[in-house]
Amino acid sequence: MGTSAEKHARQKQARSSKLQEATVRARQSSRRRRLVTVIGVLLGVGIIVAGVWILTGSGDDDTAEGSTTTTTAGDSTTTTAADAAELPRPPEGITLTEKTPCPPAAGTEKRVERFAGPPPTCIDPDASYTATFSTTKGDFTATLDSKKAPVSVNNFVVLSRYHFYDGVPFHRIVPGFVIQAGDGDGDPWGNNDLGYSIHDELPASSAEYVDYSLAMANSGPNTNGSQFFVVLPGGGAQLQPNYSWFGQVTQGQDVVAAIGALGNAEQKPTEAVVINSVRIDETE
């Protein structure tokens, strides 16, 4: 049975063993809590990183050629909830696979949709040029300034004489801001591939974007192609000097204004307005 001293020794040893077990269990519990905390932190970081990627990630569609990037039109008519019209696809055109030649002044026989490279200089530097737009909403005429923007004017004249703009609708209409056209394939609208781009010819300041100005749309520096826009009354104040100005509508401004009223809150036309043709007139 043992002595009283031995009994006390056994009780002390039992208490010591229980204390050690409790200490071990506490340490194990503490390690589990730390592990859970670390896993939680890592998961949290993962979620945050994923959130940042979702917020900052973007695709090529966000930089479609032709987007003028400014979307702060202040005209109240941009809040209309009218349904967008279904736009007709431009007629099928041919693709030039060789170096682009100058088209005849009277225009080519077939519409060209895509080119193998930029055109050579085809305009006369001493001549003056006007472009008459025949649309399903009426006609308007713009004087092209080949002195300020020779590359842009040459490009526009060449494309017009290749009938590139024939059958092309105004795919973007922002009341109080701009009307935009020049997407030659509409797949999707605002993102056509012309086969080349030309460099910028930027104005000195935004003050040059007066009412009914004609300018090139782009998706960044030196990405001009076929798309262009006409500035609606008051719209120039919303533009930075990042777009090649190359002409001015001098006749048919009422037609431009009528087209400019046909846009909804999503900057889409509520009525399909199509360019039937663009006639280029040259004078000495």
Q: Residue 238 belongs to a domain with what CATH number? A: 2.40.100.10
107 shares a domain with 24: no
Q: Are residues 111 and 216 in the same domain?
A: yes
pLDDT value, residue 68: 41
Q: Above 50 in pLDDT, residue 169?
A: yes
Final residue before a domain boundary, out of 57, 85, 101: 57
pLDDT for residue 82: 87
pLDDT at residue number 99: 94
Q: What percent of the chain has pLDDT over 90?
A: 70
Q: What is the mean pLDDT of the chain?
A: 82
Is the same domain home to 149 and 64?
Answer: yes
Residues 2, 69 within the same domain: no
**Domain boundary residue among 34, 57, 80?**
57
How high is the pLDDT of residue 219? 95
Do residue 213 and residue 259 come from a single domain? yes
pLDDT higher than 60, residue 184: yes
Please report the pLDDT score of residue 193 as a whole number. 93
Asked if residue 275 and residue 209 are part of one domain, the reply reads yes
Q: Do residues 93 and 217 both lie within one domain?
A: yes
Please report the pLDDT score of residue 147 as a whole number: 96
What is the average per-residue pLDDT within 7-29?
52
- Is the pLDDT at 217 greater than 50? The verdict is yes
Instruction: Specify the pTM.
Output: 0.74
Q: What is the pLDDT of residue 284?
A: 83
Asked if residue 141 and residue 5 are part of one domain, the reply reads: no
Residues spanned by the domain of 254: 60-283
From 57, 74, 92, give the residue that closes a domain: 57
Number of domains in the chain: 2
> What is the identity of the amino acid at 26?
A
Do 66 and 53 lie in a common domain? no
pLDDT score recorded for residue 25: 54
Average pLDDT over every residue of 261-267: 97
Instruction: Reduce the secondary structure of the chain to three states and give it as a string.
Output: CCCHHHHHHHHHHHHHHHHHHHHHHHHHHHHHHHHHHHHHHHHHHHHHHHHHHHHHCCCHHHHCCCCCCCCCCCCHHHHCCCCCCCCCCCCCCEECCCCCCCCCCCCCCCCEEECCCCCCCCCCCCCEEEEEEEEECEEEEEEECCCCCHHHHHHHHHHHHCCCCCCEEEEEEECCCEEEECCCCCCCCCCCCCCCCECCCCCCCHHHCCCCEEEECCCCCCCECCCEEEECCCHHHHCCCCCCEEEEEEECHHHHHHHHCCECCCCCECCCCEEEEEEEEEEC
Same domain for 68 and 14: no
* Same domain? 20 vs 84: no
The predicted pLDDT at position 11 comes to: 53
Measured between alpha carbons, how far is 215 from 142 in angstroms, rounded to an integer? 11
144 with 214, same domain: the answer is: yes
